[in-house]
Amino acid sequence: EIVLTQSPGTLSLSPGERATLSCRASQSVINSYVAWYQQKPGQAPRLLIYGASSRATGIPDRFSGSGSGADFTLTISRLEPEDFAVYYCQQYGRSPATFGPGTKVDIK
């Protein structure tokens, strides 16, 4: 199965700053089938990005995704207070679908 590694484990930033989260796959992900999810404490995950760079319905444009092959990035251009959460990447190009361990974005 494809193993996803996310870095950093924790990102401490202030509101208004830019956040850059990395997701690296153990092999190339077919068709860049990578998604990003946001999860807040006690809540279900929420889809942010699919196909590496397409925003899901209702997701603000401060969230953007990029990458191809085995390296993918989620960027939050200017952090809002509600953006402090855990972010997971997922690949769905090869069965079984797998998730990364997550990056926690917390307030500095």
Partner 1 sequence: EAQLLESGGGLVQPGGSLRLSCATSGFRFSTYAMSWVRQAPGKGLEWVSGIGPSPTNTYYADSVKGRFTISRDNSKNTLYVQMDSLRADDTAVYYCARGSGASPFDGWGQGTLVTVSS
Q: Tell me the window of 19-27, 48-56, 67-75, 77-85 that interacts with partner 1 (CB under 8 A).
A: 48-56
- Torsions phi, psi for 30 (to 5 deg): -60, 130
The verdict on 88 binding partner 1 (CB under 8 A) reads: yes
The verdict on 32 binding partner 1 (CB under 8 A) reads: no
The verdict on 100 binding partner 1 (CB under 8 A) reads: yes
Q: Rank residues 17 and 64 by Cβ distance to partner 1 and give the closer one.
A: 64
Q: Which residues contact 96 (CB under 8 A, 6 or more apart)?
A: 1
